[in-house]
Amino acid sequence: MAVGGGCGTGAVLRPTSATQAMVNAPVRSEKNNLRGVASVRSRFDLHPNALTRAIMELRDKNRPIIDLAISNPTTAGLPYDAGAVARALSDARSITYEPLPFGLLGAREAAAKEMSRTHPVDVERVFLTASSSEAYSFLFKLLCDPGDDVAIAAPSYPLFEHLAKLENVRVSPYRLAYDGAWHVDLDSLGRAIGKRTRAIVIVHPNNPTGSFVSKTELAKMASFGLPIVSDEVFVDYAFADDVMRAKTAREAEDALVFSLGGLSKSAALPQMKVGWTAVTGPEALVRESLERLELICDTFLSVGTPVQHALPLLLDAGARTRAAILDRTKKNLDAIDRVIGKNSPVTRLRVDGGWYATLRLPSLKSEEEWVLELLREDGVLVHPGAFFDFESEAYVVVSLLTPESELRDGVGKIARRAEIG
């Protein structure tokens, strides 16, 4: 994966929170580093890359930036029921600490109800974590020994390599192919699976391609006989129905499936820090997985009590924000098409759901050159495709969470820059 690298010289932007950490990180000298004592798995390059340095330069000059890479819904001008959120967090029961490994029953029931909107799930098969990232950590602990690998799509969510490396797990990429629509290259998946592969990871819909796994693809994945880890945090944000699409990986009843969701996307409340995972499939495998997961969850202690008690009300309150996000993302997708037009050198790739859209730029210059030029000359910040491990250039990813007027302005600048060449 190309997190912190790619494009030859490392001009890759990390997600918003990690980007800020990079901006603030001091440049380390060899004299004062931990190279001799720190673990290999914690050894990441924290030096600001070319894109981060360019952002810093513009901020130092107080130059405005149109942020088309926004990923934080709480800063995107969306409607929230702040009163309902405050009331949800005022539950007096939060004074009492109940360290249940899988979480409080009421919170798990709320999570199970939320997941059952796509496919029924038994509350006894649901456990809570502080985030989907923590869920990945627990699942990698459950499924993998050091040196094992998991098959992960490319392009896809850019932090998988970090999450895996921190668990001493390798990633084995399989290809998402594009021919006017995205699909899983099943031959590539077969080649990615080796003797030490312990799971197949999917994101449904994928980030950033916005593509869903079809029922046919899911059945083929299940036929490999490996557990399927399915990140379904964006599942509510489909732009249209499709009978060929799997609603959830839990439809693969013969496979051991771990399907993930969370408050950060379901209610656009990433600061509340609660996610949920359902374990489904053959009964014996589910039972053993839950027994082992109970110990793992208990070792790391349970999710914060206030947010667990608040979860049912937060999910109810989040329906308004979720609807607003779906409305905005659809409108922004239409706006992109209107702005770039039919004869533009910029092409929008098909996207079926999620919060992002991918634009293909002319191959007149490298992806890195495009991204830096857009930032320095036009004040437009986008994610380079290499951030998500696109297999070729030049692609940029824009956020459909962006307020509509800013998105139109930013995409217009991208289109004009592409016409200039």
pLDDT of residue 158: 87
- How many residues can be counted in the chain? 421
CA atoms within 13 A on the CB side of 203: 28
pLDDT of residue 421: 76
Distances (CA, A) of 341 to 122, 168, 362, 373, 412: 48, 47, 15, 22, 10
CA distance 5 to 46: 11
Q: pTM here?
A: 0.91
Residue 390 tokens, joined? 């696109």
CA distance 15 to 213: 24
Average pLDDT, the chain: 91
pLDDT over 70 (residue 222) = yes
pLDDT over 90 (residue 12) = no
Residue 273 tokens, joined? 């820090």
Distance between start and end Cα atoms, the chain:
29
- For the chain, the C-alpha Rg in angstroms (whole number) is 21
Query: 276 phi and psi, to 5 degrees?
Result: -140, 150
pLDDT over 80 (residue 2) = no
pLDDT of residue 40: 87
pLDDT of residue 342: 87
CA distance 173 to 191: 9
Q: Which residues pair with 230 in a beta bridge?
A: 202, 259
Strand ranges, E, within 39-185: 66-67, 126-129, 149-154, 170-178, 182-184
Range of lowest pLDDT (11-15, 80-84, 99-103, 115-119): 11-15
Higher pLDDT pick, 20 / 328? 328
pLDDT of residue 282: 98
Residue 161 tokens, joined? 């390599």
Q: What is the pLDDT of residues 30-89, one digit of tens each?
A: 455 666 678 889 888 778 889 989 999 999 999 999 999 999 999 999 999 999 999 999
Q: CA torsion 398→404→409→412, rounded to 10°?
A: 60
CA distance 140 to 344: 44
CA distance 200 to 226: 7
> Which residue segments constitute the domains of the chain, with CATH numbers given?
16-79+318-420 (3.90.1150.10), 92-316 (3.40.640.10)
Confidence of residue 365 (pLDDT cuts 50, 70, 90): very high
* Closest residue by Cα to residue 197 from 225, 232, 177, 176: 225
pLDDT of residue 5: 33
Q: Which DSSP symbol is given to 395? A: E
pLDDT over 80 (residue 18) = no
pLDDT of residue 314: 98
